[in-house]
């Protein structure tokens, strides 16, 4: 499995919009967001996953979680709620430890759709239906 974050982001091959940076941690807007706000936090050195961290990595983990906490607080202030996610095993697309910070909203489906590169809508179906009717009118 590849390591997109080392091969593309940290190498500079793929440009990202930084949100926060420390000596050992980088937070940036996801390159293919699934939400209206989708921030990724990574260590600047290769670590395959959360469960690959050793005891010597405690300071790095604390530094990462401090960045995650700050961004999560900002996300909650802006959207009212958020989710902090890290994937392991078969659900880990890139073998580099990373955290996703994404907003939550009333009526969300509590999961990120991965089928056919679908995007999650940021409101309930009723609210989406109302917005569509406002734009194109109600069906007869």
The model's pLDDT over 23-48, given as tens digits with 9 standing for 90+, comes to 999 999 999 887 888 999 999 999 99
Instruction: Note if 98 is an active site residue.
Output: yes
- pLDDT for the residue 121: 61
Quote the pTM value.
0.76
Q: 82 is written with which tokens?
A: 């958020």
Catalytic residue among 29, 30, 46, 98: 98
Cβ(81)–Cβ(104) under 8 Å?
A: yes
pLDDT of res. 120: 60
Superfamily of domain 4-136: HIT-like (3.30.428.10)
Using one digit for the tens of pLDDT, what is the confidence trace for 70-119?
A: 999 999 999 899 999 998 887 777 889 999 999 987 766 655 554 445 55
User: How many C-beta neighbours within 10 Å does residue 28 have?
Assistant: 19
Domain limits, the chain: 4-136
42 CB-near residues (< 8 Å, 6+ apart) = 5, 9, 10, 25, 26, 27, 96, 97, 98, 99
Positive/negative CA dihedral, 29, 111, 25, 46: negative
């Amino acid at each position: 499995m590849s390591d997109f974050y080392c091969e593309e982001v940290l190498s500079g091959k793929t440009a990202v919009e930084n949100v926060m940076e420390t000596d050992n941690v980088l937070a940036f807007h996801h390159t293919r967001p699934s939400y209206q706000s989708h921030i990724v936090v990574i260590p600047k050195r290769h670590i395959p996953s959360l469960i690959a961290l050793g005891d010597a990595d405690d300071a790095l983990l604390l530094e990462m979680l401090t960045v995650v906490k700050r961004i999560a607080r900002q996300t909650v202030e802006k959207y009212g709620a958020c989710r902090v996610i890290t994937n392991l095993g078969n659900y880990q697309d890139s073998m580099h430890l990373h955290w996703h910070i994404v907003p939550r909203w009333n009526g969300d489906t509590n999961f990120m759709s991965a089928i056919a590169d679908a995007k999650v809508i940021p409101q309930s179906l009723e609210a989406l239906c109302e917005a569509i009717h406002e734009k194109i009118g109600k069906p007869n």
